[in-house]
Amino acid sequence: MKKPILGSHVGMSKTNKHGEYLIGSVNEAISYDANTLMFYTGAPQNSVRTATEKLHIEKFDQILKENNINKDHLVVHAPYIINISNPVNQTTWDFGVDFLKQEIKRCEEIGVKILVLHPGARLKGDYTDALNALVKGLNAVAATQNNVVIALETMAGKGTEVGLSLNDFKYVIDNVEQPDKVAVCLDTCHMHDAGYDFNDWDSIKKDINNTIGKEKVICFHLNDSKNPLLAHKDRHENIGYGYIGFDNLLKVLWDEEYIDVPKILETPYVENKAPYKEEIENLLNKKFTKKVK
């Protein structure tokens, strides 16, 4: 059987101990024995960005090649400050569209094809109006997408978030003008907190097939959850220490239908130390033996 495509969120900054900018990102991933990685192109909470020509893209590509990491499997996460589901504040929506265009351009320049985006929040607006605002925003940025596909992330339902249900993503994909430029990232913690029970992964797969279709799943965020089913909390837990459980996450990781889909760990640091090397080893060996806590 094929080996899963498994990595984690890594840093991307000038001060990364593994090297400057993208050099540090890929070297950090390699230190965890990962074969993919996810990074932000700048701080997720603001719009400050370093010019892409300073990110060492050429050296980044060389290290990827030397370590047999397929660049098509890499993921960029869009910043949290983008909210194109906002149906009540035109200024916020306009900013989100403009900044998303910039993020797409940066992904195109770096050569990463998967851009994960939180759908956003409706605030005081109507839920369907929020989904329509999301559709409108995706239509507005589509012309800037050459190779980049936006993967909308499943959400936990905290606050006024949209994108809790696979039906939400079906609605968006069915209504955008260029559905080939929109896909989905399944976050296991978020889905659990929204009410999807990973004790019955087969049932979830049926829901996927009956709504968006499995070909639209181009990325997973593989996380355990600190909270019980339907909690709507969005608090990630380390693999095997939460309410989803190690065996259920193994089923997702090793599922033959999704074995070629990159899976990214976003689990918490433990005593200021990244747990990813141990978690990757456990998941690839299918044994919960390397303790992170």
Is 237 part of any known ligand binding site?
no
189-to-48, 124, 157, 185, 216 alpha-carbon distances in Å: 29, 25, 11, 12, 19
User: Does the annotation list 77 as a binding residue?
Assistant: yes
56 marked ligand binding residue = no
Per-residue tokens: 117: 């985006």
Residue ranges of the annotated binding site are 77, 118, 153, 187, 190, 221, 234, 236, 266
Residue ranges of the annotated binding site for Zn(2+) are 77, 118, 153, 187, 190, 221, 234, 236, 266
